Amino acid sequence: MVDIGPAGVRSGSAGAGAPASYVEWGAVLAGAFLAAAISFVLLTFGAAIGLSATSPWPGAGVSAKVIASIAVFWAMAQQIGAFMAGGYVAGRMRSRWHETGHEADFRDGVHGGLVWAVGVVIGAALLFTAAGSATKAGIEAASGAAVASASSGDPMDAIIDGMVRPTSTAAAAPPPPSPAGPGAARNRPASAEDPRSEMSRVLTSAVASGSLTPENRTYLAQIVAQRSGIPQPEAERRVDQAFTAAREAADKARKAAILTGFVTGGSLILSLAAAWWAAMRGGNHRDQSVPARFEFGTRHRRVTPSA
């Protein structure tokens, strides 16, 4: 027999041979879904503000670095606030058993931690789909790369464009004539049909290995000289510049991934602490019958239920 007394406190036993579960998944799921919904709304709202603060015109709008810094701060703040609200709801909705003092605070906090765990799984899909694409669009618009990335998002394409660009229109080598026959174009080698893909693979492999072999350097220079109509020494200089640019792009991507990992990990840890604390506050407000006015920093008069 289980009785529910004042302030939602349960007493008694749950039946012989059937231990009671102190985890109330209804309260946990309610807090997790609430946190995910709040996070989605705040991320969408922040992306709209970020897009409104950018401009493709020179001297107008906020710089890309400022937008990126604000985006990082907003992503952390909205995540912490959303899990705080979800943890508070879970702690307040949980039915307290016969535990008292620190044990009640711990179990309330555990419910807040479960809200965080379930909310991370739910919010990951929202974060990396709708909000992630909106944030990426805002950063690209701020940096002026939206037009360049419309056709291709691979930075290696821009590097290869610089390699094979002719010095003048007259210096550009004409494309080789197509062989006769309906199946001749299909039977041509891949390197003769699309050398850009092979050049991209060679540069990518060289960046991964840390060096560009002399054979690959000479081969790339020959392709650049043929397509751009420049001398072999100038083509080799372009290859060296392209290899340096590819290494710089790879290093920039590595640093961005490291920063993203640290920011994401730190934000999740702070969100766990916020959800845990908010769930304990929600449990205290539940036990003291505090009206739900979201006044977390205000002391309320304890209301004693009438008999």
Task: Give the 3-state secondary structure of 28-53.
Answer: HHHHHHHHHHHHHHHHHHHHHHHHHC
- Please list the pLDDT of the chain residue by residue as tens digits (307 residues): 444 444 445 544 444 444 467 788 999 999 999 998 898 899 888 888 888 887 777 777 777 788 888 888 998 999 999 999 999 999 999 887 776 678 888 999 999 999 999 988 876 776 666 545 554 554 454 444 333 343 445 677 778 877 777 765 444 445 454 444 444 444 444 444 468 888 888 888 888 888 888 898 888 888 888 888 889 889 899 999 988 988 998 899 899 889 888 988 999 999 999 999 999 999 988 888 888 665 555 555 544 444 4
Do 85 and 166 sit in the same domain of this protein?
no
Q: How far is the C-alpha of 85 from the C-alpha of 77, rounded, in Å?
A: 12
List Cβ neighbours of 206 (8 Å cut-off, separation of 6 or more): 212, 213, 216, 243, 246
Do 129 and 28 sit in the same domain of this protein?
yes
Do 146 and 261 sit in the same domain of this protein?
yes
Using an 8 Å Cβ cutoff, are 163 and 217 in contact?
no
| Residue 169 placed within a domain | yes
Q: Read off the pTM.
A: 0.64
Tokens at 187, concatenated: 């039977």
Do 136 and 223 sit in the same domain of this protein?
no
Count of domains in the chain?
Answer: 2
Q: How far is the C-alpha of 276 from the C-alpha of 279, rounded, in Å?
A: 5
| Residue 41 placed within a domain | yes
Do 90 and 223 sit in the same domain of this protein?
no
Do 225 and 94 sit in the same domain of this protein?
no
Do 133 and 195 sit in the same domain of this protein?
no
What pLDDT does 101 receive?
74
What pLDDT does 137 receive?
52
Do 119 and 214 sit in the same domain of this protein?
no
Query: What range defines the domain where residue 203 resides?
Result: 155-173+190-250
What pLDDT does 295 receive?
53
Do 75 and 124 sit in the same domain of this protein?
yes
Do 132 and 200 sit in the same domain of this protein?
no
Do 142 and 166 sit in the same domain of this protein?
no
Which helix H or strand E contains 2, and what residues bound it?
Answer: strand 2-4
Do 283 and 228 sit in the same domain of this protein?
no
What pLDDT does 90 receive?
93
| Residue 12 placed within a domain | no
